[in-house]
Amino acid sequence: MTDRTISLGILLSGRGSNFRAIHEAVETGRLAGAEIAVVISNRPSAPGILFAEEQGLETAVIQPKSFPHREACDQAILDMLKDHRVDLLVLAGYNRILTPVLLKAFPERILNIHPSLLPAYGGKGMVGLKVHEAVVAAGEKASGCTVHLVTEDVDAGPILGRCEVPVDSEDTPESLAEKVLAQEHRLYPQVIGKIVRQMLAGEAIGNTEAIMLS
């Protein structure tokens, strides 16, 4: 056994309910071997960053408008992550696409959660309620959420975990969003826990067998 801990860096933009679920899992010992080293938001008023401040966590607001281009903004984020010795970067409702500045600094070390069964209903512009509107409009019988490694192709990195959610005939995009979100809160901490254990064991992450919840 090692007493090493994997330091998580969280990037978020809004509500932060996935971040809260991860935080709770760390606090209650369900996510053993991990600690939250820093929480970074691009929006100063994001409820997620306000919650992190209330919890006494290390936080930072890094706003794109303060930088001449996306790479410079990502470099500032990278500097902050390095200052906090972050091992694993967790996107939790972060509404920006990462540049190679971050992707190259954290190969196979950036996770994201998406509110559909990827590869369906993913990619640029497929965010928030739009995902659930498209699923309901297509008459799908099932949707869900997916945790994946972040690569240059948006929402297309290796899949690390999925949870299926049935779509009922009376579901609206809003009701489906709520059902999927509840499962995101189950899935994300479990996948992070598995990745943390693999990192502590020195195992590669890229070809990890995905966690499938239902």
Binding of ligand GRF by 23 (CB under 6 A): no
Residues with Cβ within 8 Å of residue 194, at least 6 apart in sequence: 160, 161, 208, 211
Q: At what angle do helices 173-200 and 17-27 cross, to 10 degrees?
A: 40
Backbone torsions φ then ψ of 79, nearest 5 degrees: -60, -45
Pick the binder of ligand GRF from 8, 181, 187, 196 (CB under 6 A). 181
Least distance in angstroms from the C-beta of 4 to ligand GRF: 28
Q: Which residues contact 21 (CB under 8 A, 6 or more apart)?
A: 184, 185, 186, 188, 189
Residue nearest to ligand GRF (CB): 93
The two tokens of residue 127 are 């965010």
Q: Does 199 bind ligand GRF (CB under 6 A)?
A: no
Residue 113 near ligand GRF by CB under 6 A: yes
Q: Does 114 engage in binding with ligand GRF (CB under 6 A)?
A: yes
Kindly identify the residues of this chain, within the stretch 41-100, that bind ligand GRF according to CB under 6 A: 48, 92-93
Q: Residues near 65 by Cβ (< 8 Å), separated by ≥ 6? A: none
Catalytic residues: 114
Nearer to ligand GRF, 69 or 128 (CB): 128
122 lies in the site for ligand GRF, by CB under 6 A: no
Applying CB under 6 A, the residues found at the interface with ligand GRF are: 12, 14-18, 48, 92-93, 113-115, 145, 181, 184
